[in-house]
């Protein structure tokens, strides 16, 4: 059987994970460019935070529709390729922008395009490897960590000789190449993906949509889906506000060059890369809830330690430790969700927590920007420590999933 054969090999998981790395390459680059864009345009912390708020607000609005499109079409390879292309092109447009509002329009487009990748990739991996979801989704998460890690390291070095506008022009090439490669190899790489709508006549499409919307309503009433989604929202609020304001703090307050800021962000992501497969393996053996809860507790502790170590070398050293615990649970929560929803609704179900995450990500940077403008950047880090504690409360309220 196709699924049984796929379960014996991780080839497909690695291929999809590489593509995932590129979806993270672009925003990881952008976080490093934000201090430069902020200085050039004369932006306040609140205005910088609002850039990310616009991106994630658009993402929140289009996450569930993106999941529905994935489940209805079944053309997962095509949708992943479209997502890569759609994410990359608006960054090129930013290279021509000299007004704040154009930057906002570009990030809205990015927020829309990013919603096709995760429902397609995560639901495909979950169906392809039903007994190894924690592991393969951790590999997928590792791909994201690779993009997150190497983008700031390479771009930080390039910024010593190139402008940020030149960087965004060069940066689109890998994503477009990857989109073409996914389309070329999709027939071989993703044989388990079968179009859903194609199996229906056009007359039955309306009925298929009606059933999906009915399934979505059931998902939104499910307590496990709701608690996992809310926990994911607050965890991601913490994550994305941190990666927005860590470069600003290192650049503005500690006086780091772009290369040193990139190296610090590289350490954050490499730690997450190491943590992902460890957490995935432990979650498959010990249960998702236990691993998620313990990692979130440690994340809160490390953020508090960073605040206490402000303006010292210890602050930078703690960034890597933060990455280990913060990123360890990202894929585990995705695997946890797939354990509690029907496989036929996998794409749509992924859209629910990602929509909640995008909402949290939209609130986090703006909230932290307002706090930082009024009380300083360290106050924003205190707020983020509180948000990860709230995330853990929802984890404890989630019903235990039955054993696979």
User: Residues 109-144: pLDDT tens digits?
Assistant: 888 877 778 777 777 777 777 767 667 777 777 777
Complete domains list, the chain, with CATH: 2-396 (1.20.1250.20)
Tell me the CA distances in angstroms from 46 to 43, 91, 220, one per residue in order: 8, 21, 33
* pLDDT beyond 50 at 312: yes
Give start and end residues of each alpha helix (H) in 74-197: 76-94, 100-113, 117-128, 133-158, 164-189
Q: Are 277 and 330 in contact, with CB atoms under 8 Å apart?
A: no
CA separation for the pair 252, 256 (Å, rounded): 8
Radius of gyration of the chain (CA): 20
Query: Which residues contact residue 287 at a Cβ distance below 8 angstroms, ignoring those fewer than 6 apart?
Result: 400
CA distance 340 to 66: 20
Residue, of 335 and 264, whose pLDDT is higher: 264
Mean pLDDT on 294-308: 87
Q: How many C-beta neighbours within 10 Å does residue 342 have?
A: 12
Alpha carbon distance 121, 105 (integer Å): 26
Higher-confidence residue of 213 and 379: namely: 379
Instruction: Give the residue-averaged pLDDT of 353-370.
Output: 81
67 in helix, strand or coil? helix
pTM: predicted TM-score of the whole model, two decimal places: 0.65
Give one word for 255, left, alpha or beta, with left for phi > 0 and alpha for psi -120 to 50.
left
Please report the pLDDT score of residue 363 as a whole number: 85
228/391 Cα distance (integer angstroms): 9
Separation of alpha carbons 122 and 83, rounded Å: 14
What pLDDT, in 10s, does the model give residues 217-248?
Answer: 777 777 888 888 888 888 888 888 888 888 88
Stretch among 206-215, 275-284, 300-309 having the lowest mean pLDDT: 206-215
The pLDDT value given to residue 284: 76
Q: DSSP for 69-81?
A: HHHHH--HHHHHH
For residue 160, what are the CA distances in angstroms to 98, 156, 163, 246, 332?
A: 21, 7, 8, 20, 38
Q: Are 185 and 16 in contact (CB under 8 A)?
A: no
Q: What's the pLDDT tens digit per position in 22-49?
A: 888 887 788 888 888 988 999 888 898 8
CA–CA separation, 112 vs 39, rounded Å?
A: 27
What is the rounded CA–CA span in Å between residue 392 and residue 216?
25
Q: DSSP states of 240-307 as a string?
A: HHHHHHHHHIIIIIS---HHHHHHHHHHHHHHHHHHHHHHHHHHHHH-HHHHHHHHHHHHHHHHHHHH
């Amino acid at each position: 059987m196709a699924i049984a054969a796929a379960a014996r090999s991780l080839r497909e998981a690695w291929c999809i994970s590489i593509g995932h790395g590129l979806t993270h390459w672009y925003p990881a680059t952008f976080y490093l460019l934000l201090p430069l864009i902020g200085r050039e345009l004369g932006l306040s912390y609140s205005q910088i935070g609002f850039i990310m708020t616009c991106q994630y607000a658009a993402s929140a609005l289009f996450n569930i529709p993106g999941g529905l499109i994935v489940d209805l079409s079944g053309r997962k390879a095509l949708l992943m390729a479209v997502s890569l292309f759609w994410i990359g092109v608006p960054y090129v447009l930013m290279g021509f922008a000299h007004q704040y509002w154009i930057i906002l329009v570009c990030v809205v487009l990015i927020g829309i395009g990013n919603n096709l990748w995760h429902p397609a990739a995560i639901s495909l991996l979950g169906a392809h490897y039903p007994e190894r979801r924690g592991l393969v989704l951790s590999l997928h998460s590792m791909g994201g960590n690779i993009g997150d890690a190497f983008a700031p390291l390479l771009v930080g070095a390039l910024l010593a000789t190139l402008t940020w506008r030149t960087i965004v022009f060069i940066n689109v090439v890998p994503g477009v190449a990857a989109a073409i490669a996914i389309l070329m190899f999709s027939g071989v790489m993703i044989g388990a993906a079968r179009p859903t709508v194609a199996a229906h006549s056009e007359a039955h499409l309306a009925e298929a949509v009606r059933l999906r919307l009915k399934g979505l309503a059931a998902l939104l009433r499910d307590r496990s889906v709701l608690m996992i989604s809310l926990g994911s929202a607050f965890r991601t609020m913490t994550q994305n506000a941190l990666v927005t304001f860590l470069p600003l703090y290192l650049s503005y307050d500690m006086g780091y060059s772009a290369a040193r800021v990139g190296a610090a962000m590289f350490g954050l992501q490499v730690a997450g890369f190491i943590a992902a497969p460890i957490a995935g393996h432990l979650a498959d053996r010990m249960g998702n809830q236990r691993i998620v809860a313990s990692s979130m507790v440690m994340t809160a502790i490390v953020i508090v330690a960073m605040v206490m170590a402000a303006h010292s070398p210890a602050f930078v050293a703690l960034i890597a430790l933060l990455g280990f615990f913060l990123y360890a649970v990202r894929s585990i929560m995705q695997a946890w969700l797939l354990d509690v929803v029907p496989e036929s609704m996998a794409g749509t179900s992924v859209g629910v927590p990602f929509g909640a995450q995008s909402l949290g990500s939209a609130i986090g940077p703006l909230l932290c920007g307002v706090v930082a403008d009024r009380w300083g950047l360290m106050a924003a880090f205190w707020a983020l420590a509180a948000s990860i504690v709230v995330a853990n409360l929802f984890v404890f309220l989630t019903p235990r999933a039955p054993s696979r």
